[in-house]
Chains A and B, each alone.
Chain A
Amino acid sequence: EIVLTQSPDFQSVTPKGKVTITCRASQSIGSNLHWYQQKPDQSPKLLIKFASQSISGVPSRFSGSGSGTDFTLTINSLEAEDAATYYCHQSSSLPRTFGQGTKVEIK
């Protein structure tokens, strides 16, 4: 089973600040890494697929990069509505797995 480890577990950032979340895979997963945003009492929403592919309707301040075992989600110019928990997810091999989540708080 591929283990995804996110860091940090929690981040508190001021509005207009920058957020960087990393996701490290226990073995190479190519670009089969996806990022989700989950707000309280909502289902996860896809932000980035296949490491760096943008999703229609997702603000351009969200971007992803990486391949192999190391991946990054970047949120530029943080807005209040970005307060949420962010998860990475791999679809490279079975069983599919998720990172433990990173909670982003707005200061």
Chain B
Amino acid sequence: QVQLQESGPGLLKPSGTLSLTCAVSAGSISSSNWWSWIRQPPGKGLEWIGEIYHSGSTNYNPSLKSRVTISVDKSKNQFSLKLISVTAADTAMYYCGRGVDYWGQGTLVTVSS
């Protein structure tokens, strides 16, 4: 069964850059799936950030598109999220996922001075 594990800094200062990595195990990132990032502010609902295919093709949420980059590293079987110019509104649990079926456990990112 595919497993996904998010990692990255848990605390950022406003205007900084959020960088997270999702390590994929028990499965290949080169499989025919889209790999996604989703976030959830504390006590709120789910927001789709974007997705990437192993070819490097990406789709982003228009609401975040100007600040988001998702990339893939096939040699490490992982993919990454970069979000620039963060504010307190970006404080959330960040999840990585495969298609609609597998999600990681999530990592909490707090933006605070």
* Residues of A in contact with B (beta carbons under 8 Å apart): 1, 34, 42-46, 49, 55, 87, 89, 91, 94-101
Contacts and interface: CB of A to CB of B under 8 A. Distances in A.
B5 to A, nearest CB: 11
Interface residues of B, number: 20
Contacts of B63: 95
Given A94-B59, A95-B62, A46 B100 contact: yes
Contacts of B100: 34, 46, 49, 89, 91
B104 interface: yes
Contacts of B35: none
Interface of B: 36, 45-48, 51, 59-63, 95, 99-106
Given A43-B104, A44-B95, A101-B45, 8 more contacts: A46-B102, A49-B100, A87-B46, A89-B100, A94-B59, A95-B59, A96-B36, A98-B47
Contacts of B62: 1, 95
The SS class assigned to the A binding surface is: loop
Indicate the member of B48, B95, B105 with the most A CB atoms within 10 Å: B48
Nearest to A91: B100
A38 B49 CA distance: 19
Nearest to A55: B101
Contacts of A87: 45-46
Contacts of A89: 46, 100
A65 B85 CA distance: 42
A42 B36 CA distance: 18
B36 to A, nearest CB: 8
A49 B101 contact: yes
Contacts of B105: 42-43
21 contacts: A1-B62, A43-B103, A43-B104, A43-B106, A44-B46, A44-B103, A46-B101, A46-B102, A49-B100, A87-B45, A87-B46, A89-B46, A94-B59, A95-B59, A95-B60, A95-B62, A95-B63, A96-B48, A98-B47, A98-B48, A101-B45
